[in-house]
């Protein structure tokens, strides 16, 4: 008779001991107390920090006051690093915009003096420029 079989009584569930300490609850209470007392740094965003896994890891390793200090210091260091990277890239861009030196190690041919050229020399030079422009080269006078 399968249907008349007695059901086993469920085991009594032991309540969770209230005396057992939960480090995150203790840390949350201490953080809330620090916020109420104004002990948190001015630029510290508690609601954003509690969502950050890095802050949770710090809370596991250190007391809340120390974790807050370390977290703020790390965030400031990250911001400083980003500022340095931005500044360096701006400096690199500004340096690229500066004119480059035209000095070379070898002698540079002087610019042609068109006013003192003979008619034949000027015509030959003019023909060279036309040929270069016709071949697709950029010509500057």
**Tens of pLDDT, residues 81-121:** 999 889 988 888 887 776 766 666 777 677 778 888 889 98
CA-to-CA distance for 116 and 74, rounded, in angstroms?
71
Domain assignment of residue 102, yes or no:
no
CA-to-CA distance for 127 and 121, rounded, in angstroms?
10
Mean pLDDT of the 60-85 span:
88
DSSP label of 62:
S
pTM of the model: 0.49
CA-to-CA distance for 34 and 41, rounded, in angstroms?
10
Residues in contact with 62: Cβ distance below 8 Å, sequence separation at least 6, in sequence order: 70
Domain assignment of residue 57, yes or no:
yes
DSSP label of 139:
-
3-state DSSP helix/strand/coil % of the chain, to nearest 5: 55, 0, 45
Domain assignment of residue 111, yes or no:
no
Domain assignment of residue 89, yes or no:
yes
Domain assignment of residue 70, yes or no:
yes
pLDDT interval class at 13 (50, 70, 90): low
The larger pLDDT score, comparing residue 48 to residue 85, is at 85
CA-to-CA distance for 72 and 44, rounded, in angstroms?
7
Domain count, the chain: 1
Domain assignment of residue 87, yes or no:
yes
């Amino acid at each position: 008779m399968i249907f008349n079989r007695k059901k086993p009584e469920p085991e009594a569930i032991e309540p969770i001991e209230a005396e057992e300490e939960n480090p995150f609850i203790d840390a949350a209470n201490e953080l809330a107390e620090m916020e109420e007392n104004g002990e948190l740094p001015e630029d510290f965003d508690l609601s954003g920090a509690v969502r950050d896994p890095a802050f949770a890891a710090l809370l596991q390793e250190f007391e809340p006051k120390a974790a807050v200090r370390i977290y703020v210091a790390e965030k400031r260091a990250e911001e400083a690093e980003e500022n340095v990277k931005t500044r360096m890239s701006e400096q690199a861009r500004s340096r690229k915009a500066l004119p480059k030196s035209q000095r070379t190690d070898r002698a540079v041919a002087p610019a042609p003096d068109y006013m003192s050229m003979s008619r034949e020399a000027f015509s030959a030079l003019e023909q060279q420029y036309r040929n270069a422009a016709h071949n697709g080269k950029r010509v500057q006078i």
